[in-house]
Amino acid sequence: MAVYTEVSDDELIEFMSGYDLGEVVAFKGIAEGIENSNFHLTMTGGAYILTLYERRVAPRDLPFFLDLLDHLAARGVPCPVPVRARDGKALRALAGRPAAVVTFLPGLWPRRVTPGHCAGVGRALARMHLAGADFVGRRDNALSVSAWRSLLKSAGPEVDCVQMGLAVKLGRDLDTIEAGWPKNLPEGIIHADLFPDNVFFRGDDLTGLIDFYFACRDFLAYDLAVCLNAWCFEADFSFNVTKARRLVGEYDRVRPLEAAEVAALPLLAKGAAMRFLLTRLYDWLNTPEGAFVTPKDPLEYVAKLRFHDRVASAAEYGLDVE
């Protein structure tokens, strides 16, 4: 369940009276997602999503996120568009939380990922990176390599309860990642969390990218590495090179990768696996029993990290390397 803040009918009707969207027809919480409270909202003027931003999202970052959605949508990226109230504001307050209404996107996220889905994600990610090139907003990646050491420490002394010897292994992995992390790759706006449940499709046709609340400025190729981890492994954690070839190949066709990005991709993929392993590890060890959200198993990303350990070049991700 991902509705942390309940909204009464009276609160909702009063809130929506500030918009030119007609009357409330239906209102239902969305169980998916872990960061915010989300609701399907049907007005006589159409369908929308209402989001209440919870404590894990810094209020100071919200204008960045909403301005970014406006910017990307204006350049053809299929993403939600913030709806402004009659006072001109997209960010308002509801039930004691910052809140916004955005347009509804059709489609479903893929429960069973195909190579066709991966190709669509590669194209869409590259187009999003190109569309964000002239966005002037600034938000640094708070979960990049400089944060991973402290994340591991904050997971606490029980890391080895998840897997014997894990704390030492992760410490050594971090030594390698920190020592080799690139410094001069192309940067820009990245999504940073483009998992299957944040991408909508109708068949193989991609209809929407959602949940930009980790978006920031970082290496563009790091975003591609996040997607390799999120889209190209099977349920048994085996790597599907066919999916990777479609994802990386379609990305490269739209936004050609520089030689330095290609060379760095194995380390970036290992770093992306480390980032999600550590946040899952922290949540696994620190989420109280009975919480709204069931934490995700960090061992999935331990397996992915071990795969990237064995990768010698980007050719093993299906990319043509000269």
Q: Which two tokens stand for residue 146?
A: 């400089």
* 169 inside domain: yes
242-292 confidence digits (pLDDT tens): 999 999 999 999 999 999 999 999 999 999 999 999 999 988 887 655 445
Are residues 72 and 138 located together in one domain of the fold?
no
Contact, 196 vs 118, CB < 8 A? no
Are residues 93 and 133 located together in one domain of the fold?
no
Residue for token digits 């893929």?
110
Are residues 209 and 310 located together in one domain of the fold?
yes
- State the CATH number of the domain containing residue 82: 3.30.200.20
Give the span between the Cα atoms of 207 and 89, in whole angstroms. 26
* 322 inside domain: no
pLDDT at 288: 54
Are residues 220 and 124 located together in one domain of the fold?
yes
Are residues 243 and 95 located together in one domain of the fold?
no
| Mean pLDDT, residues 3-32 | 91
Contact, 3 vs 71, CB < 8 A? no
* 4 inside domain: no
Give the span between the Cα atoms of 311 and 306, in whole angstroms. 9
> Residue 38: pLDDT above 50?
yes
Are residues 266 and 189 located together in one domain of the fold?
yes
* 208 inside domain: yes
Give the residue from 68, 103, 138 where a domain finishes: 103
Tally the domains of the chain: 2
Give the residue from 103, 137, 159 where a domain finishes: 103
Q: For the chain, give the percent of residues with pLDDT over 90.
A: 82
Are residues 163 and 90 located together in one domain of the fold?
no
Are residues 186 and 261 located together in one domain of the fold?
yes
* 108 inside domain: no
What is the span of the domain harbouring residue 37? 9-103
Give the span between the Cα atoms of 265 and 271, in whole angstroms. 10
* 3 inside domain: no
- State the CATH number of the domain containing residue 268: 3.90.1200.10
81-90 confidence digits (pLDDT tens): 999 999 999 9
> Band of the pLDDT at 318, cuts 50, 70, 90?
confident
pLDDT at 1: 40
Are residues 185 and 261 located together in one domain of the fold?
yes
* 261 inside domain: yes
> Residue 91: pLDDT above 90?
yes
> Band of the pLDDT at 161, cuts 50, 70, 90?
confident
